[in-house]
Structure 1
Amino acid sequence: MPRRLVMLMTDKMIPHRRLCVALLAVLGLASAASEVISPLPPMGFNNWARYMDALNETLFVETTDAMLAKGLLKAGYNRINLDDCWSPRERLANGSMTWDTDKFPQGLPWLASYIKAKGFIPGIYTDAGTLSCAGYPGAYGYEEIDAKDFADWGFEFVKLDGCNMPTGTEDEYRKVYGKWHEILSKMDNPMVFSESAPAYFAEAANLTNWYKVMSWVPEFGQLARHSRDTLVWNSTLYWPDITGWDSILFNYGQEVRLGRFQRPGYFNDPDFLNVDHFDYTLDERRSHFALWASFSAPLILSTDVLSLTDEEVKYLTNADIIAVDQDPLVQQASLVSQSVDWDVLTKSLSNGDRLLTILNKGSTAADLTVPWTHIGLVTNTRHTPSKLSVKDLWTGRSETIDLKRSKRFNVKNIPPHGTAIFRISNPALGSSVQTVPTGVIFNTYSLSCLTDSSSRGGLITWTNCTALDSQIWRVREDGTLSSLADEKRCLVEKDGRIQSGDCSKHSKWDYFLSGALINRDSKKCLTETQDAGAFAISDACGYMTNEQVVALPVGVTVKSLADDDSVFDLRMNGA
């Protein structure tokens, strides 16, 4: 486990290569950028959501050619990955895997070579268990053989699924995925390692094991599938009663809980961009792309590339939005505010700009006003610029806003299920948009928002998210937290209760990779409990318990468990 994970914000312009090296040095992940396999989230194509088991040589040859012809490679989509069902149902007599010769008559080494010759990087699928999810041979007990074969065939990316594990325990997953990490790391040319382990713990009644798996996958690989598949083309095979939009919102909703784990070289993966699914409107498809890019998530298309329209290719190759996804800070945008119809997200970018993403979850087009303070700007100080430049990343049009005349940003006519996305800059040469981490604090199990309830005697409550100032918290460098409803008062712990009070006493907090927010004085954790009438309390810290895991705004320093061994029981089932 790294000594410290830091979600950094920058206020200076730093060249991208130097920034990556600097970030990695701070994170303790590498002594040089060359040691990091994938400093930026991968982009490319995978067959599963669109074609499932109907993969073959012709599909991949034609898709490779189409991605080149349509400008997708030039835009950054440089990976072509095979998924399940590429092999026969049995291994060879010597234990090795081989390819299905009916599907791949010229062989996978030939296909990998073809993909590389066109400028792409080939990837392959296997499963950590005894059988793959579709019933083909798994890699359990054959890890060294399979890894060597994949490398010899020319593949440079491996997706490791998690079906059919012998016992299915969290400890078993950790050992098997750790074994793969060890094998892949010793290769002359280490592969990008995509882990699916978290997805097998994501929807339990008790999420402790999900959080545990999420805490170790960054040690082993470059990306990890954290929850369900995006909706496959034949949706009734999986979820007969779910719409395409439901599928996007589900995986989006899982992603926003996990921002503390992401860092340069590791990315939370909300699964494929199945942007040609028949159940999506055009605005929903564009939202799918814009939200994933706001998260700096992997952008892996699972679509009929040959049939993509010019309009679809245009938005998928939008250079401004791809730049947000591929920004070297790779911050995962976090929730500024949330309500029934609206989600507002933000993050910092490497040159000092700020991202603003607005999701209209409602069923009609509507306007929204976002105060500048909501995205972390501290107004009326000498550091506040007099003007801001705001670029609409869909249209490419920019406008300059005078902050003396406008305390908020008005966005007009966002379509139903549409997403507006803006890049905010300080127009002064070489200057950044200086911000303080600001947004909701919510329990990642119940999704309740921490609320400054001044009408209830200054006590703090857990309530449904409504986007009020009383639910938007500013987290200062000294560890104090204040709601925008009353920034002169702070979140304090007193006799087991959480209150809004004097910022000088019992008001400093630390945030851990476990998701615990811990008072520095009492060493107790912020806790949600229904037993106290939805009041927030402090309690002895458990280990990644449902009632104590919370998400904080992007930009907050995130400490690893090892930073305070006295707080947690680190035995983790005896490990």
Structure 2
Amino acid sequence: MKLLLLQALLFAVADASLKPQMGWNSWNTFKANINESTIKNTATALVKLGLADAGYEYVMIDAGWQTDTRAANGQQQANATLFPSGIKGIADYVHSLGLKLGIYSDSGIYDCDFHPGSWGYEELDAYTYASWGIDYLKYDNCGGFQAGTISSQERFQKMGQALKTSGRDIFYALCQWGHQFPWYWADQIANSYRMSGDIQASFASDKSGVCQTAYCLNTGYAGVSVLTMIRKMREISAFQSPGSWADMDMLEIGTNSMTEFEEQTHFSFWAALKSPLIIGADITNISASSLNILQNKEVIAISQDRLGAAASYVPDLSTEGSIQVWGGPLSHQYVALALNYGNKTTDIGIKLDGLPGLRQFCKHKSVSIRDIWDKKNLGTFTDEIRLQNVSIHQTKLLLMSC
């Protein structure tokens, strides 16, 4: 009987990460200026707007929730002025809505906002989170000299072990900015891992010093654009697999920083590359256009497809600086993306034989193709599809069936 119960528990823990996580995080919009009302109002809005029904289940409290020091018993403690109900009270409210609550800490002495990190307190903090009813931990990479003298693997594994013995199933999301190339090791430790420095609310412009590839030794901390995040994934999308997801950081959709085509491209690639879908906008004040993008059921279905395979970049069908073509299998269909990131409207031709894995999936010569964003069935094709007048920064997201 004990063995059966243990197997059931292990399956439940594993099942939580078999699909990329979906939710909302406070950092992109509010930074550390958060309080109880912000979190509760957002949780309520997730339900009222239909985002919860679409799959966005986690409500994440990022940096800014703590006091400057630990309590007398050593525990991290919420700022009682900003969070009068305490984290446990917020968790109870979020759970009453059918949602899950996430919290933020750090693998160093301090977090990135100079509140107490969890280094040396992993077991106590994991137990505290479990007692509060926490369902998700975002674990950062700032925090004093430990961040430089102890390896990433050791610091992050210590908290991973503590969470496993906390008595509660807590989703574990690393935020180590791509340092130490986590796609080689994070699957042994956590449910997801950041593959780059922080995203910024820009489609094409990076801050200075941002690395363009995934394998730079200096991955940078912040200021990565949507296009650069996609560029980095060319090298590592093949590492995506159920159980541990490369996280391209939060969605900037709804932050009034992009055109509708750019937001569609942003969402298309995060879904097809199997990045977690974590909203960063203030959803209590979001446009109908952005909300419709976030709620697109066909795109979300690509993200949550049970095969868990990310699309891959197809250099033979792409033109550096102007056109990117990506493709990959789903459990019962195939997805292809054609992005115009040049400086003029253009036509894009895709030779079907050039899409990796399409002919293995689709034994027949003919392929039926649907344009998801245009909500239009384009017809049946055998050799090539030509997409006409693709606008600047627009992505054609194509669903292919045999």
1:166 aligns with 2:135: no
1:345 aligns with 2:326: yes
Q: In structure 2, what residue type is equivalent to 1:421?
A: L
Shift in alpha-carbon separation, 1:45–1:35, aligned structure 2, 3 A: closer
Q: In structure 2, what residue type is equivalent to 1:385?
A: H
Shift in alpha-carbon separation, 1:378–1:120, aligned structure 2, 3 A: closer
1:225 aligns with 2:203: no
Is the CA contact (8 Å cut-off) linking 1:228 and 1:251 kept in structure 2? Answer: no
Is the CA contact (8 Å cut-off) linking 1:47 and 1:82 kept in structure 2? Answer: yes
Q: How does 1:230-269 map to 2 (within 5 A)?
A: 230-231=199-200, 239=207, 247-269=225-247
Q: How does 1:145-156 map to 2 (within 5 A)?
A: 145-156=124-135
Match of 1:366 in 2: 346
Q: Counterparts of 1:249 and 1:86 in 2: how far apart (Å)?
A: 32
What is the deviation of 1:304? 0.9
Q: In structure 2, what residue type is equivalent to 1:419?
A: T
2:75 to 93, 96, 99: 96
Is the CA contact (8 Å cut-off) linking 2:328 and 2:358 kept in structure 1? Answer: no
Q: Counterparts of 2:149 and 2:191 in 1: how far apart (Å)?
A: 19
What is the deviation of 1:34? 3.0
Q: Counterparts of 1:31 and 1:144 in 2: how far apart (Å)?
A: 20
What is the deviation of 1:282? 1.8
What is the deviation of 1:331? 1.0
Give unmatched runs, 5+ long, in structure 1.
Answer: 1-28, 202-209, 427-575
Q: In structure 2, what residue type is equivalent to 1:345?
A: W
Is the CA contact (8 Å cut-off) linking 1:371 and 1:408 kept in structure 2? Answer: yes
1:292 to 270, 277, 282: 270
Is the CA contact (8 Å cut-off) linking 2:322 and 2:340 kept in structure 1? Answer: yes
Give unmatched runs, 5+ long, in structure 2.
Answer: 1-6, 211-221
What is the deviation of 1:232? 5.7
Shift in alpha-carbon separation, 1:35–1:98, aligned structure 2, 3 A: closer
1:375 aligns with 2:374: no
What is the deviation of 1:190? 2.2
What is the deviation of 1:240? 7.5
Q: How does 1:187-206 map to 2 (within 5 A)?
A: 187-197=166-176, 199=177, 201=179
1:41 to 12, 20, 30: 20
What is the deviation of 1:30? 11
3-state SS, counterpart of residue 118 of structure 2: coil
Deviations 1:249-296 (A, max 9, x none): 122222222123221111100000011233322211111111100111
Deviations 1:344-401 (A, max 9, x none): 10110011x111011111122221001011103687x9x7414211111113221332
1:327 aligns with 2:305: yes
What is the deviation of 1:31? 11
Q: Counterparts of 2:367 and 2:178 in 1: how far apart (Å)?
A: 44
1 or 2, which has the higher helix percentage?
2
Q: How does 1:469-484 map to 2 (within 5 A)?
A: none
What is the deviation of 1:165? 4.7
Shift in alpha-carbon separation, 1:348–1:246, aligned structure 2, 3 A: same
Q: Counterparts of 2:358 and 2:261 in 1: how far apart (Å)?
A: 33
Q: In structure 2, what residue type is equivalent to 1:409?
A: I
Q: How does 1:521-540 map to 2 (within 5 A)?
A: none
Is the CA contact (8 Å cut-off) linking 1:230 and 1:248 kept in structure 2? Answer: yes
Q: How does 1:56-75 map to 2 (within 5 A)?
A: 56-75=35-54
3-state SS, counterpart of residue 38 of structure 1: coil
3-state SS, counterpart of residue 344 of structure 2: coil
Shift in alpha-carbon separation, 1:376–1:344, aligned structure 2, 3 A: same
3-state SS, counterpart of residue 133 of structure 1: coil
Is the CA contact (8 Å cut-off) linking 2:47 and 2:53 kept in structure 1? Answer: yes
2:393 to 417, 421, 433: 417
1:310 aligns with 2:288: yes
What is the deviation of 1:176? 1.6
Match of 1:513 in 2: none
Q: In structure 2, what residue type is equivalent to 1:313?
A: L
Is the CA contact (8 Å cut-off) linking 2:240 and 2:274 kept in structure 1? Answer: no
What is the deviation of 1:74? 0.7
Q: In structure 1, what residue type is equivalent to 2:310?
A: Q
Match of 1:354 in 2: 334
Q: Counterparts of 1:329 and 1:279 in 2: how far apart (Å)?
A: 33
Q: In structure 2, what residue type is equivalent to 1:357?
A: L
Match of 2:217 in 1: none
Deviations 1:439-458 (A, max 9, x none): xxxxxxxxxxxxxxxxxxxx
Q: Counterparts of 2:340 and 2:265 in 1: how far apart (Å)?
A: 9
Q: Counterparts of 1:111 and 1:319 in 2: how far apart (Å)?
A: 29
Deviations 1:329-356 (A, max 9, x none): 11111101232101110110011x1110
Is the CA contact (8 Å cut-off) linking 1:377 and 1:384 kept in structure 2? Answer: no
Q: In structure 2, what residue type is equivalent to 1:304?
A: D
